[in-house]
Structures are given as C-alpha cells and as structure tokens.
Amino acid sequence: MDSIFKVPIRNVFCLISYAADMPELINQLSDVDEDIITYDFIARRFNQEAESLLNKGLRKDFINHVEETNRLRGRVLMNQSMSFIMENKPALVCEMDVYSINIQLNQIFKTTLESIYKNHFVSENVRNESFNIWKTVRDVNFINLDREIFQRIRFNRLTVKYKPIIHLARLLYELILLSHKSGEWDLFTAKLDDQSMNNLFEKFLYGFYQAEQDQYLVKSEKIHWKLEGNARYLPSMKTDVSMIHKKNKEKIIIDAKFYKNMFQQYYDKSSFHSHNLYQMFSYLMHQPNDMKVKGILIYPQNGYMVNETYKWNENVSVKVISINLDSSWNTIYQELLSEVTPF
C-alpha cells in the first residue's frame, strides 16, 4: 500500500510558503483563523489581490518584439529576412522594443486566473470571480508556468506592488503541482505520498530555520569522509539542514524522514529505521572533535508521539522526534523552534 499523508491545506500552505522562500505570506494572513485557510480561501484571496492590482493599474514596460513587416522598423534580422530578399518579396523580419502590457508579471497574473477558473477544487463562486477578472485583462498572453520562472523574479520599486499576488500565484502553482503528483485533494486537506511530503518538508525546514531564528547559519552541507584511500567510490554525504552557531562551536544537523511508519519491525520488535540512524551517526562522527553537535531525525506523528534523545558523549547526541502535521500551525511552529535552542 502506498504511504499517504493527509495534511490540512492550512499546513501545506505554511510548508510551501517557507519552502518557496516567501514566509511573508503567512504574516499577511496572521489575522485569519487558520482553520478557514483552505484551497478555496487562497484562490479567493488571489482574486482580491487581483482586483486591487487592477485598480492600481497593470504595469507596462518595453519588451522585445519580432514581426514580418513591409516597413523598415527597429533592427532587421538578416538571417530570417533572407528568404524574402531572395524571392524579391516586399517584406523583412524586424526586431524592435515595444511598450506593452504583455510583460511576464502580467502573464503570470492572467495565467493564474485561468488556472483558478478551470480548477474544479475551487467553488463555483470563486471560479466565476476569476473568470470575470480574467476577461478584463486584454493583450496579455498565456505563459507555461514552472518553478524557474518564479525563482528568477526580482522585485524593484516599480514592481513591488506585484509581490503579494505573485507569491499567491506561486503558492497556487505549487499546490496544483503537488495535486497532480499525489492525487486526492479537497478544499480542506491534501493527500500526499511520502516522497512528495519528504521533499516538501526538507525544503520547508531549510526555509523555516533561515527565516525564524538568527543564532545559527543555515546551509546544506557536504561532509567529507575521514578515510584514506580512493575516494572515487565513496558515497557522498550531504545534509538536508546544517545549522552552525554563529558564535559558539555548535552544530545541529536535521534530517526529515517522512515514512508512513516511523518504526521497522523485526520479530515483533519495533525499532527506528536502522539506515536513518546509521546515516545520521555517520554525519556526526565526521564533525570536528571539539564541536558540540546534535542530530535530529524528524518523523511524522502517525499514532505515535516520539521524543527520544541518545548521547554518544558530552559533545555528540542524536534526537528522534515526531511532528503532528494535523496540529495547529502555531503548535508546529513552537515545537520546531524549541528544538534549536543553543546547547
């Protein structure tokens, strides 16, 4: 049987907001009861931002435009024009900069409106709102969205008004992407397979600890083997999250392990997955001897609440905890912060 996690949309919303480096989205909704943050709610919020943006006016800018023309305009593209010249036709292919509303930010805006009104997970009222707004946005092309498009966007003083709606557009895109990979959704919950959940939670932890604390430097760290010999055949060691204290010789290494069952079974005996502990222990054994280091393995709480600590010596320890993703966001937030207090 596939490993499936049923997670409230409100918490998927928070995970994606940090994973996509946009925690300010959560701050925007800090005054909203988290129980009403559903798929439908986020789409409605997008529509509200869309109407606000239209009232302010969509931005125009110069964009590159190429066309066949019988008038000399801009720069002539000789390679593309050569067939017309050889056939003695009164046409050229010219490239020019035109002042247009068809800029990428507006394309993302309009494409997201289209994805909402075509999405059967959204209520009819919200879909109709999106469609009516979509109809008013003329002369803007559809764009095939992907993560790279969102990652390349940089805001300036002229485009900062787009920031809230572009962040919501990215959130809706990520939710749709997950739903296509993982299947069943409704307005309130997402059913995610363990691979999707693990990938999302790894990125979330990285973004969360970068944003919500300032005592540790957060990075993904490549660890080198303390072995002599041909390193060609040694597997790489790379942490999900390494947190290095900015003042003290302290480090926390975190690995998210989202399995449906946090235990392995052997002759009716339950134990933590051995390969996870071996991996974490290997990370810890390859740290400087004078550094205090703690490893944390995080599992989803699935009927079992776990909070166990194991010490190797005064400097080295391993902790295994479970997180209940069905809890309130504030509970999850406080639990995660409590795990990274200084030694």
In a domain, 187, yes or no: yes
Task: State whether 308 and 285 are in the same domain.
Answer: yes
Task: State whether 187 and 260 are in the same domain.
Answer: no
Q: What's the rounded Cα separation, in Å, for the pair 298 and 39?
A: 27
Task: State whether 271 and 161 are in the same domain.
Answer: no
- What pLDDT is attached to residue 182? 47
User: 8 or 188, which is more confident?
Assistant: 8
Residue 1 pLDDT level (bands cut at 50, 70, 90): very low
Model confidence pLDDT, tens digit, residues 61-96: 998 888 888 887 777 888 888 888 888 888 889 887
In a domain, 307, yes or no: yes
Task: State whether 86 and 131 are in the same domain.
Answer: no
Task: State whether 131 and 162 are in the same domain.
Answer: yes
- What pLDDT is attached to residue 292? 96
Complete DSSP assignment for 1-39 = ---EEEEEHHHHHHHHHHHTT-THHHHHTTTS-GGG--H
Containing structural domain, residue 279: 213-338
Beta-carbon contacts of 119 under 8 Å, excluding residues fewer than 6 positions away, are 43, 127, 176
Task: State whether 10 and 82 are in the same domain.
Answer: no
Model confidence pLDDT, tens digit, residues 287-304: 999 999 999 999 888 777
Boundary (domain end) residue, out of 70, 85, 100: 100
Task: State whether 160 and 18 are in the same domain.
Answer: yes
- What pLDDT is attached to residue 175? 79
Which helix (DSSP H) or strand (DSSP E) does residue 315 occupy?
A: none
CB 20 within 8 A of CB 171: yes
Task: State whether 67 and 140 are in the same domain.
Answer: no
Task: State whether 112 and 219 are in the same domain.
Answer: no
Of 327, 341, 233, 252, the closest CA to residue 294 belongs to 252
Model confidence pLDDT, tens digit, residues 164-180: 899 899 888 887 776 65
In a domain, 30, yes or no: yes
Task: Find which of 128-132, 154-158, 192-196 is predicted with most confidence, using mean pLDDT.
Answer: 128-132
Work out how many domains the chain is built from and give that number.
3
Asked if residue 187 has pLDDT above 60, the reply is no
Complete DSSP assignment for 90-126 = S-EEEEEEEEES--HHHHHHHHHHHHHHT-TTS-HHH
Average pLDDT score over residue span 179-198 = 60
In a domain, 298, yes or no: yes
Beta-carbon contacts of 108 under 8 Å, excluding residues fewer than 6 positions away, are 143, 145, 149, 150, 166, 169
Task: State whether 82 and 139 are in the same domain.
Answer: no
Percent of the chain, pLDDT > 90? 47
In a domain, 239, yes or no: yes
Q: Spell out the long-range contacts of 66-72 with Cβ–Cβ below 8 A and sequence spacing 24 or more.
A: 66/93, 66/94, 66/95, 67/93, 67/94, 67/96, 68/92, 68/93, 69/93, 69/94
Task: State whether 32 and 68 are in the same domain.
Answer: no
Cα 207 to Cα 215, 242, 309, 330, distances in angstroms? 15, 12, 25, 17
Task: State whether 136 and 34 are in the same domain.
Answer: yes
